[in-house]
């Protein structure tokens, strides 16, 4: 069984979906010999992403003429199936198709997306009809596809993702040295993600402003769709001296940032999965999470869950963890138990079963 997986997005936007695709491909390469994996990557990635059969595609991600370009480039691709982790497969093809639908943020929150992104993800109805199998990360997304796009639930496989194994507790002296070297506050409240509207950073800032005695707030990430004027919001709330930014942290830096935080907070209005929640738990950091979208499933009993629209509840949850070492220690242990339920080996095995089912047709 020869399966291609499209990793072009890794060069375009190395965030959640790209992380999923790369970790899945790594895990699949450790599976039995009946699978030959072909990695398709962008010409912008000059070295192979994985030790696997690699093919270069010149057609850019999310390009206006992507469908035409992919159809031509993959016309004679010697594969049985192509997995498209970024929702949209090539519609003209000679092989089977599996797609991953990670969330419907573009549908529920169009005001937080660009016109180009709305155009690209507007192809989803055709993609859903075209695909031989549909994968989602959480039961919440399967329900959303049924209610919003009339996709029968039996056509959709729920396969949870997992944090990268790099996220783990570190020796305290190593963490302290990292924070001292970078002049960052140890024991801060921490958030990481893409700076965009649906992440609810404005709600987080307003909730944080209710806690004048709380430790500093560290915000890490990169600008995304319709990034908000955060510095203006911070100044208006009188938080300029209390909020710091870490721009574009590497994975190694993120592991240290999680380890050095007193609390990780993730108040998104909507998520298809929410890697940072599990990453924080894997590092032993207490978590306060939104209960929106799939986050209720991902967080489970491992953290405190709040309505992201309720800023008072968010502030109270943060204060509860910060003021109670007993609660913080309890959340740390509950987080370890929750994150143990997720693994890339399980994700790869269940994904491989879908490949076999589709190719077997």
* 171-211 pLDDT, tens digit each: 999 999 999 999 999 999 999 998 888 899 999 999 999 99
Task: Report if residue 276 sits inside a domain.
Answer: yes
Across the range 218-237, mean pLDDT stands at 80
Across the range 107-134, mean pLDDT stands at 90
Same domain, 118 and 212: no
Whole-number pLDDT of residue 241: 95
Structural domain tally of the chain? 2
pLDDT in tens, 2-47: 999 999 998 776 677 888 999 999 999 998 778 999 999 999 887 8
Same domain, 212 and 138: no
What is the domain range of residue 133? 2-162+343-360
CA distances from 220 to 102, 189, 251, 271, 296 (A): 22, 11, 12, 18, 23
Same domain, 198 and 263: yes
DSSP state of 33: T
Same domain, 157 and 263: no
Please compute, for residue 244, the number of CA atoms within 13 A of its CA located in the half-sphere on the CB side.
14
Tell whether the model's pLDDT for residue 228 goes beyond 60: no
Whole-number pLDDT of residue 114: 78
Task: Report if residue 167 sits inside a domain.
Answer: no
Classified as helix, coil or strand, 272 is coil
Task: Report if residue 110 sits inside a domain.
Answer: yes
Q: How confident is the model at residue 63 (pLDDT cuts 50, 70, 90)?
A: confident
Whole-number pLDDT of residue 225: 55
Task: Report if residue 314 sits inside a domain.
Answer: yes
Same domain, 195 and 308: yes
Whole-number pLDDT of residue 10: 86
Same domain, 268 and 177: yes
Task: Report if residue 253 sits inside a domain.
Answer: yes
Across the range 80-84, mean pLDDT stands at 97
Tell whether the model's pLDDT for residue 120 goes beyond 70: yes
Same domain, 111 and 212: no
Same domain, 258 and 272: yes
Whole-number pLDDT of residue 107: 92
Same domain, 184 and 122: no
Q: How confident is the model at residue 110 (pLDDT cuts 50, 70, 90)?
A: confident
Same domain, 42 and 185: no
Same domain, 141 and 279: no
Give the CATH number for residue 234: 3.40.50.2000
Share of residues in the chain with pLDDT > 70 (%): 98
Q: How far apart are CA 26 and CA 347, in angstroms?
A: 11
Same domain, 128 and 207: no
| Beta carbons within 10 angstroms of residue 236's beta carbon | 12
């Amino acid at each position: 069984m020869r399966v291609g997986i499209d990793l072009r997005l890794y060069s375009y936007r190395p965030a959640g979906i790209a992380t999923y695709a790369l970790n899945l491909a790594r895990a699949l390469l450790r599976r039995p010999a009946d699978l030959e994996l072909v990695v398709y990557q962008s010409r912008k990635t000059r070295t192979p992403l994985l030790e696997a059969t690699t093919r270069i595609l010149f057609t850019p991600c999310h390009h206006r003429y992507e469908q035409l370009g992919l159809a031509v480039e993959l016309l004679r691709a010697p594969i049985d199936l192509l997995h498209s982790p970024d929702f949209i497969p090539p519609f003209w093809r000679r092989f089977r198709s599996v797609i991953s639908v990670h969330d419907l943020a573009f549908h529920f929150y169009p005001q937080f997306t660009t016109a180009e992104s709305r155009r690209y993800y507007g192809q989803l109805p055709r993609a859903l009809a075209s695909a031989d199998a549909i994968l989602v990360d959480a039961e919440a997304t399967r329900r959303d596809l049924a209610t919003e796009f009339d996709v029968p639930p039996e056509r959709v496989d729920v396969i949870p993702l997992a944090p990268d194994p790099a996220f783990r507790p570190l020796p305290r002296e190593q963490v302290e040295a990292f924070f001292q070297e970078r002049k960052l506050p140890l024991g801060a409240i921490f958030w990481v993600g893409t700076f965009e509207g649906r992440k609810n950073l404005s709600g987080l800032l307003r909730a944080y402003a209710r806690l004048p005695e709380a430790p500093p707030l560290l915000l890490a990430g990169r600008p995304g769709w319709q990034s908000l004027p955060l510095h203006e919001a911070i100044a208006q709330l009188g938080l300029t001296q209390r909020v710091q930014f870490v721009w574009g942290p590497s994975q190694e830096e993120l592991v240290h940032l999680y380890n050095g935080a007193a609390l990780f907070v993730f108040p998104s209005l909507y998520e298809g999965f929410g890697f940072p929640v599990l990453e924080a738990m894997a590092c032993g950091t207490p978590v306060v999470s939104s209960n929106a979208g799939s986050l209720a499933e991902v967080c489970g009993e491992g953290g405190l869950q709040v309505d992201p629209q309720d800023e008072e509840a968010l502030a109270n949850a943060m204060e509860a963890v910060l003021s109670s070492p007993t609660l913080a220690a309890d959340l740390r242990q509950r987080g370890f138990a929750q994150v143990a339920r997720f693994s890339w080996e399980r994700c790869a095995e269940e994904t491989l079963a879908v490949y076999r089912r589709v190719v077997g047709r």
